[in-house]
Amino acid sequence: MDDFWVFGYGSLMWNPGFVFSESRQALLAGYRRALCVRSYVHRGTPERPGLVLGLDQGGSCRGMAFRVEASDRDGVIDYLRERELVTSIYIERRVPIRLDTGKKVTALTYVIDRRHEQYAGALDPRHAADTVLAATGKSGPNEAYVRNTVEHLRSIGIRDHRLERVIAEMGKPAQAGS
């Protein structure tokens, strides 16, 4: 059986929650990491939604690829579906990625559904920062999620300039009317 790979772009990168036999940095073309998903439970509420990551169309995304043994494949897929497909904002896809070795493989990942009500679209950094600062859900403050994400990305040598701009805006006073 061919290698089975999973591509992670957010918390899955440092907290995969499944058994894997190898991990490599990887590049996914055609999608970008974005704070484009409204969170009504874990990082916000229906009254004050937070923002969490999704893979949105366009650009590219550096993340982590995890190789899963054939014997673990079905269990990993079941786990990922339970973790990622809770509200149907994400769509399961098999996508081509390039590992940091240069090898091209196909990986399972989850991209956002732009038609879903939780899709926030492309927000400017100020709007995203104001939304993040105002939201807290059952998993804690939305601000902690964004800062933690950037810290983890940096720790493995990945810079996400869009997320870093949001953090820079979070350090500035909120704009009137936000």
pLDDT, tens only, 118-169: 999 999 999 999 999 999 999 999 999 999 999 999 999 999 999 999 999 9
Q: What is the pLDDT of residue 87?
A: 86
Is residue 176 predicted with pLDDT exceeding 60?
A: no
C-alpha torsion sign, points 164, 165, 171, 177: negative
Other beta carbons within 10 angstroms of residue 127's beta carbon come to 16
Q: Which residues contact 7 (CB under 8 A, 6 or more apart)?
A: 26, 28, 63, 64, 65, 95, 97, 107, 108, 109
Task: Decide: 119 and 39 in contact? Cβ < 8 Å.
Answer: no
Is residue 173 predicted with pLDDT exceeding 80?
A: no
CA angle centred on 95, ends 160 and 82, rounded to 5° = 85
Q: What is the pLDDT of residue 26?
A: 98
pLDDT, tens only, 19-60: 999 999 999 999 999 999 999 988 999 999 999 999 999 999
pLDDT, tens only, 79-108: 999 999 988 899 999 999 999 999 999 999
